[in-house]
Amino acid sequence: MNPSLIRFAAQADLVLLTADMLRPPLPATTAAKWWSEPVANWEECLRASGLPDTTNSDNVSLRSMLREVFTTAEQTSVDEWSDEYWRLFDGPTLCPINQASYDRRDKGTILGDLAGFYQAFGWNPTPSSGERPDHLRFQLEFLAVLLAMASQTEDSERSEIVSDGLRQFARIHMQDWVPSFSWQLCEVSRVPLFGAIGTWIVMLWDGLSQLHQWSPELSTGKFIKPERDGENPYECAAHGLLQLGTH
């Protein structure tokens, strides 16, 4: 198999794993837990992905951050996980997990454009989830679908269509807010697991962006923090965004 296609497949698996990290916590009796699989399997996937094992400002590598996520997941009780998940992402959210909370554009424009992307590549978010199409988990799942498509075709014309879809989706719908969400998650979480997930997401995103040259100027040292809409405390406004320096 073409090595570049193997790299795309491994990247798709890592992105799907990351989407699973953002699901609501599973009951203790549920057997299928992403963190129950040996982390060594995912380290092998990381090696196959072709992603650079770079370090962040704290001198932590992508590989060690992956291991940290698995370690903290194993150490976090279901109750603690559940309480923090709903504190962060439900009700008057401390850490909005939808693009429209960080994007200055009209919400309808964002959702309509996302629906166009999803339809063009024959993908639909889980209909029973109750989440909007701009939820980060859906965006990660769609990104993984595109990467998987790229791993399954050697036809030059189709490959170019998928590559262009990846590039445009990353630029229009992810590059401006995924790092901001990640830093916000690190800032407000009181449970180490979610801080580890936030750091993993921004490091994975930086690695993918550098590898594919989606957005070469990501590391600006700034992030966008959403303001809550004063008229509706349960919805974060897209206007009045504040530029704050990262730690």
Domain residue spans of the chain: 3-245
Cα–Cα nearest to 214, from 156, 146, 152, 158: 146
Query: What is 3-245's CATH number?
Result: 1.10.3480.10
Q: What is the pLDDT of residues 155-184, one digit of tens each?
A: 777 788 888 999 999 999 998 899 999 999
Percent of the chain with pLDDT over 70: 80
Query: What does pTM read for this prediction?
Result: 0.85
> Which residue in this structure is represented by tokens 């559940």?
82
Q: What is the pLDDT of residues 62-82, one digit of tens each?
A: 999 999 999 999 999 989 999
Q: Which pLDDT score, from 0 to 100, does residue 177 have? A: 92
Instruction: Name the phi and psi angles at 38, rounded to 5.
Output: -55, 130
More confident residue, 241 or 50: 50
Mind giving me the DSSP string for 119-176?
HHTT----TTS---TTBHHHHHHHHHHHHHHHHT---HHHHHHHHHHHHHHHHHHTTT
